[in-house]
C-alpha cells in the first residue's frame, strides 16, 4: 500500500468556547490548517456544553474526553478517518477523571492526544504529576507493541534550557523542575522522538506557550511545552515539524507534524 503524507495539528486552546469568539475564530483556524487529525487540549467543557456548540467541522469524526470537574482540562480530536477504537483512561488514579487523554487507533498507527497535569506553583502536585508521567510512559509503550505511536499535546515541561527564554530564573519551577525534565527524558529514552528538536536541534526562540503577563508573547519570552513525539521506528517518516506561532487565540500556539505512513 503506498504511503500517504498526513498533516497533524495539536493546540492547547485554553477554553474552546473562548477561542470560538476570537478573530479569527477556532473554526476559521481549523479549516485554514486543514489537518487530517486535529487535537486540542484544555477544552474546559462538559458533554452538554459541547453539544450546544454546533461546530462547523463536517467531514471529521469527533472524539472527546471530559473532566468530571466543570470548566477544567478536557481533550478532543477531529480525524478525517473514523478511529478503530478509542481509549480515554490510562489507568492512573491521580488524573484519570480529568479528561486528559484521547487515544485513537487507526490502521497504521496509534494517535494519542494528552494534556499532562501541571505540577503547580511550588510543585504542590509534583508527586501526582510524576505518577502520571510514569503511567503514561508505560501506556505508550504498551500501544507501541501493537502499532507505532504518534503522541502530541501539552506536556507541561520545557525539556532543555534551549526550550525556554529564561531558564536560569525558572529552574525548579513547575514546568522546568529537575524532576519533570528527567521524567520527560525517560519518555524519550523509552523509544520516542521529539520531532521538532530532532529536525531543528539548534533552533532557539522556538516556543509554543507565553504567559499573559509582562507582554511575554510580544517579547517572545516563551516556553516550548507542546510536542509531537513519535515511535523511533517511524521517526524517519517525519517530513516536517513546525511551531505555528503566527496563530493567535490562546496563550499557546498550535504545533504541526507532517509524516508519511
The DSSP symbol for 1 reads: -
Burial class, 138, CB count within 10 angstroms (exposed 0-12 / middle 13-18 / buried 19+): middle
CA distance readout (Å), 84 to 60, 108, 110, 143: 14, 11, 10, 14
Alpha carbon distance, N-terminus to C-terminus of the chain: 10
Q: Is 207 a catalytic residue?
A: no
60 is catalytic: no
Instruction: Please identify which residue in the block is written with the cell numbers 517530513.
Output: 239
- Of 36, 60, 115, 194, the active-site residue reads 115
Residues sharing a CB contact under 8 Å with residue 153, sequence separation 6 or more, in sequence order: 10, 12, 39, 41, 75, 112, 113, 114, 115, 116, 226, 227
Before 24, cis peptide (omega within 30)? yes
Burial 76-100 (b: 16+ CB within 10 A, else e): bbbbeeebeeebeebebeebbebbb
Strands (E), 89-128: 101-105, 110-115
Scanning the structure block, which residue is given the C-alpha cell 487529525? Answer: 37
Q: Of residues 36, 133, 154, 163, which has the active-site annotation?
A: 154
Catalytic residues: 115, 154
Amino acid at each position: 500500500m503506498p504511503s500517504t503524507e498526513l498533516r497533524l495539528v495539536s493546540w492547547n486552546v485554553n477554553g474552546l468556547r473562548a477561542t470560538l469568539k476570537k478573530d479569527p475564530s477556532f473554526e476559521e483556524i481549523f479549516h485554514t490548517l486543514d489537518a487530517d487529525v486535529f487535537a486540542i487540549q484544555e477544552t474546559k467543557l462538559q458533554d452538554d456544553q459541547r453539544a450546544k456548540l454546533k461546530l462547523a467541522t463536517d467531514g471529521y469524526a469527533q472524539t472527546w474526553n471530559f473532566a468530571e470537574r466543570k470548566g477544567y482540562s478536557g481533550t478532543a480530536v477531529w480525524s478525517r478517518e473514523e478511529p478503530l477504537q478509542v481509549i480515554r483512561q490510562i489507568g492512573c488514579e491521580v488524573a484519570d477523571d480529568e479528561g486528559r487523554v484521547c487515544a485513537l487507533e487507526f490502521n497504521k498507527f496509534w494517535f494519542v492526544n494528552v494534556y499532562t497535569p501541571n505540577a503547580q506553583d511550588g510543585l504542590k502536585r509534583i508527586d501526582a504529576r510524576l505518577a502520571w508521567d510514569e503511567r503514561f510512559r508505560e501506556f505508550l509503550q504498551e500501544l507501541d507493541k501493537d502499532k507505532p505511536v504518534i503522541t502530541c499535546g501539552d506536556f507541561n515541561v520545557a525539556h532543555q534550557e534551549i526550550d525556554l527564554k529564561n531558564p536560569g530564573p525558572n529552574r525548579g519551577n513547575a514546568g522546568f523542575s529537575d524532576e519533570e525534565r528527567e521524567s520527560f527524558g525517560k519518555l524519550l529514552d523509552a523509544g520516542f522522538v521529539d520531532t521538532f528538536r530532532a529536525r531543528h536541534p539548534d533552533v532557539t526562540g522556538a516556543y509554543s506557550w507565553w504567559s499573559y503577563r509582562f507582554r511575554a508573547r510580544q517579547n517572545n519570552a516563551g516556553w516550548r511545552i507542546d510536542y509531537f513525539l513519535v515511535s523511533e521506528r517511524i521517526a524517519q517518516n517525519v517530513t516536517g515539524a513546525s511551531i505555528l506561532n503566527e496563530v493567535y487565540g490562546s496563550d499557546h500556539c498550535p504545533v504541526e507534524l507532517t509524516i508519511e505512513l
